[in-house]
Structure 1
Amino acid sequence: MSAQDSTPENAHVLDELYDVILERRNADPESSYTAKLFARGENKIAQKLGEEAVETVIAALKEDHAALASESADLLYHLLVLWAEKGIAPEEVWDKLEKRKGTSGITEKAIRKPE
């Protein structure tokens, strides 16, 4: 299955999740995990993102397909929470990716590298 096989219903799932995250930002931390993360601050959000990244790598190395998909979802969620905390809209990231389309990763990295 390729990314182009995505259906229109799920094509914007990350944008929709980001909107839900913003809605829950000021909810009661006792009833919303998202609100609890925001209440704990950017250091905790970044820490959780790091934990999810490690768990994603572990699932990949164990070659556990289902766990990798699940951990990837957790990783993306926590990344979106961090973006919201830092004021980064998904469109900013999508624009960066769009500009890199068709450019070799090696070339793109060299362009960004400070001299």
Structure 2
Amino acid sequence: MLLINAIQLFMQYLSSIDRSHETITGYRKDLIFFTRFLEAKYNVEPYIDEITANDIEDYLTYCQYRFNFPQNYRLKIPHFCRYWLFTSAGSGRKKPAFFFSLMR
């Protein structure tokens, strides 16, 4: 499944569990920027099953330096952690350990 399609399903899921419009918008922005980052990195539309923990870590590092706010990238970690869990629910993938280390 293309990442962009998985993001749309995740947005529907967030809406179904009554998350606020602002919460959904925040997730959408982060995940769309992540999609653009991967498209630039690999020059193709990313598929959800091809994304690695390193891709997420590279993106968070990119955000840290792009926005020049050392703490800003930490705000994105819960978004990616929840999204990773959502997309991993039926796939047997486990949450990458680096999420825990980055949250410290």
Q: TM-score, normalised by structure 2?
A: 0.32
Larger Rg: 1
Relative CO higher for 1 or 2, CA cutoff 8 Å, sep ≥ 6? 2
